[in-house]
Amino acid sequence: MPGTEVFDTSSRQIVARAAGLYLFPALRMDGELLLVSTYSITGTLHHMTVLQPDDLRLLADWTGTGYIDWLTG
């Protein structure tokens, strides 16, 4: 099962945990920071999630088939 821990470098403490997600930072086209996750459930089924970075609030969550990935630049 995937998971992510958020580490605060100033306090040197883990401040949040997100079970079931491989989170990484991404920027929206307007420059807003988001946390996104994608992982394969099977060879053709993938899970994708978008979270607000400050409180890990869920913004979007879906499952898709075929090849899916984040468009980053």
Separation of alpha carbons 8 and 50, rounded Å: 20
* Whether 65 contacts 45, CB under 8 Å: yes
Instruction: Sort strands 58-65 and 13-19 into parallel, antiparallel or unpaired.
Output: unpaired
52 in a domain, yes or no? yes
At residue 72 the predicted structure's pLDDT band, cuts being 50, 70 and 90, is low
* pLDDT for residue 9 is more than 80: yes
72 in a domain, yes or no? no
| 3-state SS class at 31 | coil
Sequence-distant (≥ 6) Cβ neighbours of residue 13 within 8 angstroms: 7
pLDDT at residue 56, as a whole number: 87
Separation of alpha carbons 73 and 61, rounded Å: 22
37 in a domain, yes or no? yes
Tally the domains of the chain.
1
71 in a domain, yes or no? no
pTM: 0.77
Q: Domain limits at 32?
A: 3-65
